[in-house]
Structure 1
Amino acid sequence: MSTREKILGEVLQNQPSSLPLPDISRFRGEKQEVVQKYKAVFESIGGTVFLVDDFSAIQAIIHEQYDPEKRIATTLQQLAGNFESIDPNVAPHTYEDIELAIIQGHFAVAENGAVWLSDEIMGQRIIPYICQHLAVVVKAGTIVPTLHEAYDLIGEGTYGFGGFIGGPSKTADIEQALVLGAHGPLSMVVFILK
């Protein structure tokens, strides 16, 4: 047995007992105007929101806003005939030149403009971070008011990998100069399906 295996074995044997998640009912937000609140917050952090009726509207906006000569890929079956399909079985490095990735989000959070993504819907874990531009589709009915409610949804999930993404990647750490695309997409669009 290697040192690594020994350490991991000891960690597994010394796990604390599971405890129930805390009651967060007093932190629930207002469901009224949740779509408008999400839109306002997401746009304030540099993102773009489109309220759409269906996938044909999404397709039209993508053709209008993005260069069709560049690589556009999606995990959504509704758009697969129009754009390249993201294959979870190919090497992640093959996606290094994606201009736009279009993926489904589980839900969105109005309080901070984030969307929740897990590995089961990303196609490849690297997709939302390696693309130049990211588009996420969420259903209006899945937007929750607060992060407390979001954590309530994911608290006991069975996903292997997941994360909240809120707007384009940015940093202003160095000389307080805003840099977009520092460690992720240059821009982010959320399509809210009514």
Structure 2
Amino acid sequence: MSSRDKILAAVKASQPQLTELPKVTIPQSAEGLAERFTTVATAIGSKVYEISDLEEIKAIVSAQFNSSSRIISSLPEMQDIAETDIAQFDPHSLENVGLAILKAEIGIAENAAAWVPESNAMQRVLPFITQHLALVISKSSLVPTMHQAYEVIGDRDYGYAAFIAGPSKTADIEQSLVLGAHGPRSMTVFLLK
């Protein structure tokens, strides 16, 4: 018997005993999802605003963000404060974007992640190259867990998409938390009633 065969036989002989997968209880109630989402999003560094209509976004943006910054949005309703048609742009031309306002399709309460398909991101790089990111999520599209989010998106044909939660952050360097190290320095979520 070769060394290889001895090693493989030893590995095969020392396999752990099979155990059943744990039972996962997934909450089915939609009650309190907005509050849970807001609590988690705030804890990971996002700002959350509950809004009644998209016009409120314009007021918040003008108060919170530098008016001289380049603003891009996937929402046509934002055309008076942002560029809304960048699909034909070269992604390299987005290096100076100060704020991107994008629509998220799903929000997950357990981790405050938002699912943004490429059609809403306009360019794959936009949610990650912008200095500040704002996502608009309908309260009716909040789900309790990632399990349920995957059930919703599982059969869709969406190409590229990303789950985004909070601003970019790292604590690799000298164990000091740095926001915006690899992406947006801030994240704002607008929960639309």
Partner of 2:117: 118
Give the C-alpha shift of residue 30 in structure 1.
Answer: 2.9
Quick one: distance in 2 between partners of 1:27 and 1:55? 32
Quick one: distance in 2 between partners of 1:101 and 1:133? 7
**Contact 2:48–2:190 (CA<8 Å) still a contact in 1?**
yes
In the alignment, structure 1 residue 145 sits paired with structure 2 residue 144: yes
Q: Which runs of 5+ in 1 are unaligned?
A: 1-23
Partner of 2:107: 108
Partner of 2:171: 172
**TM-score of the pair, normalised by structure 1:** 0.85
1:1-194 equivalent positions in 2, closer than 5 A: 26-194=25-193
Give the C-alpha shift of residue 98 in structure 1.
Answer: 0.4
Give the C-alpha shift of residue 83 in structure 1.
Answer: 1.4
Runs of 4+ aligned residues of structure 1 deviating over 3 Å after TM superposition are none
**TM-score of the pair, normalised by structure 2:** 0.85
**Contact 1:29–1:146 (CA<8 Å) still a contact in 2?**
no
Q: Which runs of 5+ in 2 are unaligned?
A: 1-22
**Contact 1:28–1:149 (CA<8 Å) still a contact in 2?**
no
**Contact 1:108–1:138 (CA<8 Å) still a contact in 2?**
yes
Q: CA-to-partner distance for each residue in 1:123-166, whole Å, 9 max, x for gaps?
A: 11111000000000010110101111011111122111011000
Quick one: distance in 2 between partners of 1:96 and 1:86? 16
Q: CA-to-partner distance for each residue in 1:62-105, whole Å, 9 max, x for gaps?
A: 00001111111111011112212241111001110000000100
Give the C-alpha shift of residue 26 in structure 1.
Answer: 4.3
Quick one: distance in 2 between partners of 1:86 and 1:143? 27
Amino acid at match of 2:57: I
Give the C-alpha shift of residue 180 in structure 1.
Answer: 0.8
Amino acid at match of 1:69: S
Amino acid at match of 1:153: V
Quick one: distance in 1 between partners of 2:60 and 2:28? 31
- Shift of the 89–66 alpha-carbon distance from structure 1 to 2, 3 Å rule, reads same
Give the C-alpha shift of residue 29 in structure 1.
Answer: 4.2
